[in-house]
Structure 1
Amino acid sequence: MEFITTQQWDEDLWQKTRDIYNVAFGEHATKPEKVIQNMFARGLSALHVLKENDVVLAMALTGAMPNSSVLLLDYLAVRKNLRGHGIGKGFFDYLLEWASSQPQFKRILVEVECDDTPQNHARIQFWEKCGFQLLDDYKHCYKWGPQHYMAMVHYLKGKPAIPLKGEDCLKYMASFHKESYKQNFKA
């Protein structure tokens, strides 16, 4: 197996990854491809993949605001027919190793759907197995969907002296999403 991380847009790699992304998140939760390309052009994103024999098994999109110590795990997905076999946890371990090697990052944030469903409970349990913890009971609902979200954190370099608040983390994530959609006006 081969782990790849790129912070440059790679059309060939994206073509091999796109179906995993679309199947896992559906139309209502994915960013349009032009937005993702713009995120790369603006230096806001990285694509991480796990490949075997030139087939992508898992993918993740991460993001960070300029000069930030926070890595946002925007999307992580495993090919549908391979789920439930430990690939997601192993893939996250690779992401954790990569993030830990980047001196600017002190923590990883992920937002999770938290409405009371078996699927959401399973997702939260997955992230807890990966070392994340729910910050508090603050829930946020974006204007484009009925789902509620909570923030989870994985500390890379020790906990901060002042505990993080879920509301602040979700506001940070919302600002990242807003920034993702801004046009790139660089020449």
Structure 2
Amino acid sequence: MTLEFKTYDKWDDALWAAIEPLYREAFPHGAKPVGILHAMLDKQIAWLHTGYQDGKLAAMAVTGLSGPAGERMLIIDYMAVDAGLRGQGLGRQFLELIRDWAVQKHDIQAVLIEVEAGHTEEDAARVHFWEHCGFIATEYVHQYIWIPEPYRAMVMPLTRDFAITDDGQALFRRITDFHRKSFRKSGDTGV
């Protein structure tokens, strides 16, 4: 099953209307508000990706970049596959399409995500999926003040010289910096 992969760098209300049900189903808690996602594309700090199978939306993702050239990583902020299509390899295929796009367009060195670090079966299944795709879990567990569940960084190195230099805190600083930029109002210098 081949996915038709598309990447968008501009907000489109009609496109979002088609994507939003999948986004809401996959992320009932902790999802960024639509206005923030819209602003992320407007500020050119994020992309919206879709995967279509037989003309029907099968997967979606929101990504952004972190770090200077030579150390650039792609952050997967959200990625979801339609619940009825899971278990068929579409998630891995979609991830590979995103990764290949980012390598070609942005010369990334790694792909970075944050996953729930709880002890539920669902949390373990998510970690297993990402490990199966080539991600390495870090030890550091981050506790946000506004979200009850803890998170850990997972990284997929894409170059031989990529190294995790600590227990994952440095990677998490990249993630939290991306979140700060996501929520920063346009024109806000952060000073």
TM-score, normalisation: structure 2: 0.88
Counterpart for residue 130 of structure 1: 133
Aligned twin of 2:147: 145
> Is the alpha carbon distance of 1:9 and 1:91 closer, same or farther for their aligned partners in structure 2, counting shifts above 3 Å?
same
| 1:5-154 equivalent positions in 2, closer than 5 A | 5-26=7-28, 28-65=29-66, 67=68, 69-135=72-138, 137-154=139-156
State the superposition RMSD in angstroms. 1.9
Taking a change above 3 Å as real, the CA distance of residues 11 and 65 of structure 1, as seen in their structure-2 partners, is: farther
Q: Give CA-to-partner distance per residue, 1:63-89, whole Å, 9 cap, x none.
A: 124746111000000112111221111
For normalisation by structure 1, the TM-score amounts to 0.90
Distance (Å, rounded) in 2 between the aligned partners of 1:85 and 1:63: 26
What is the count of residue pairs matched by the alignment?
A: 184
Q: Secondary structure at the match of 2:112?
A: strand
Greater Cα offset, 94-103 or 74-83: 94-103
Residue 3 (structure 1) aligns with: 5
For each residue in 1:117-162, what CA deviation from the matched residue of structure 2 results, as whole angstroms up to 9, or x when unmatched? 1111110110011110013x11011111221111111112223356
1:29 is displaced (CA, Å) by: 1.2
1:49: how far off?
A: 0.6
Q: Matched residues in 1 for 2:161 and 2:126: separation?
A: 23
Runs of 4+ displaced beyond 6 Å = none
Partners in 1 of 2:4 and 2:82 — Cα distance?
15
> Does the residue aligned with 2:22 lie in a helix, a strand or coil?
helix
Is the 8 Å Cα contact of residues 109 and 162 (structure 2) preserved in structure 1? no
What 5-or-longer segments of structure 2 have no aligned partner?
A: none
Q: Distance in 2 between matches of 1:30 and 1:77?
A: 12
Alignment match, 2:179: 177
Secondary structure of the 2:146 match is coil
Pair 1:162–1:66, CA change in 2 (3 A): closer
Contact residue 44 and residue 66 of structure 1 kept, 8 A: no
The Cα of 1:165 is off from its aligned counterpart by 3.9
Would the aligned equivalents of 1:106 and 1:158 in 2 still touch at CA under 8 Å?
no
